[in-house]
Structure 1
Amino acid sequence: MPLLKFHLYKTRSPEEVKLLLDVAHEAMVRSFGVPQDDRYQLVSEYHHPCMQALDTGLHIERSEKFVLVEVISRPRGREAKLAFYENLCSVLEEKCDVPASDLMISFTENSDEDWSFGYGRAQFLTGEL
């Protein structure tokens, strides 16, 4: 936990997608201090024009390498979120050739009662986690 959802244009090879997920996980571990095996990721791929990602008037140029990351998580502090933005942007640019202008991140926060990792129990509430 957190759950990361990646929205991508359907232009990457399976190897490129795997690398993107691996480096994103590294950034999450570094930013939030979660365990290495705490990894939940989903990928949705879209053909043009099934995903539109404009720049909200910021004059940010987008390309086929655009990545939208939705982070669903328990509350994280401001500094941890800012660190994640920077860490993810840096590793995607360095290791996946994703320009900084092609990364968009959005957080949705929920609470401990909103998670069940299996067996019909809320492990954050039962003390298992």
Structure 2
Amino acid sequence: MPMTRISLKRGKTPDYKRSLMEQIYLAMRDTFNVPEEDRFMTITEHDDAQFDFGADYLGIHRSEDLIMIQITANNTRTTEQKKALYAKIAERLAADPGVRSEDVLISLVEVQKENWSFGNGEAQYA
């Protein structure tokens, strides 16, 4: 059910981008109990003029390698599960492909179950 959008500056290799998607997916499986095959992800690359951020917002020093991750998911997780997800994503991305934890920004957008259609014009979760 999660739909994940990853935004980053243009120029990373295909392997780097594949690793981002794989590690985020595995973190969701570990912490959000996401089923196998429940994988819907995109990556959008941006030029300098299309990618802006507060380099030191909240005392966290971000580099030009910042990755912005937006996950849309059902509003069924606890605060503890959300914190576990954020930590697991940062941990996995640090290990592969080597993203600094300061460069991992995550936004979770929660929706009602009936707000999904996975195909055929049907609301499968409603």
1:11 to partner: Cα distance:
2.1
1:56 to partner: Cα distance:
6.3
1:8-23 → structure 2 map (5 Å cutoff): 8-23=8-23
Structure 1 residues 29, 63: closer, same or farther in 2, change over 3 A? same
1:77 to partner: Cα distance:
1.4
* Amino-acid identity (%): 30
- 1:25-74 per-residue CA deviation (whole Å, 9 max, x = no partner) reads 10011010111211010111101131112156323222232110001111
Q: Which residues of structure 1 form unaligned runs of 5+?
A: none
Aligned residue type for 1:52: D
Q: Is the 8 A contact 1:117 1:123 kept in 2?
A: yes
**Corresponding residue number in structure 2 for 1:124:** 125
Aligned residue type for 1:59: G
TM score, norm. by length of structure 2: 0.93
Q: Is the 8 A contact 1:4 1:40 kept in 2?
A: yes
Misfit runs of 4+, over 6 Å = none
C-alpha RMSD of the superposition: 1.2
Aligned residue type for 2:90: C
**Corresponding residue number in structure 2 for 1:49:** 49
**Corresponding residue number in structure 2 for 1:32:** 32
The DSSP-based 3-state class of the residue aligned with 1:58 is: helix
Q: Is the 8 A contact 1:9 1:65 kept in 2?
A: yes
Q: Is the 8 A contact 2:3 2:39 kept in 1?
A: yes
Q: Is the 8 A contact 1:93 1:100 kept in 2?
A: yes
Pair 1:64 & 2:64 matched: yes
Question: Which piece of structure 1 moves more, 15-24 or 59-68?
Answer: 59-68
Count of residues paired in the alignment: 125
Q: Is the 8 A contact 2:55 2:63 kept in 1?
A: no
Q: Which residues of structure 2 form unaligned runs of 5+?
A: none
Aligned residue type for 1:102: D
**Corresponding residue number in structure 1 for 2:94:** 93
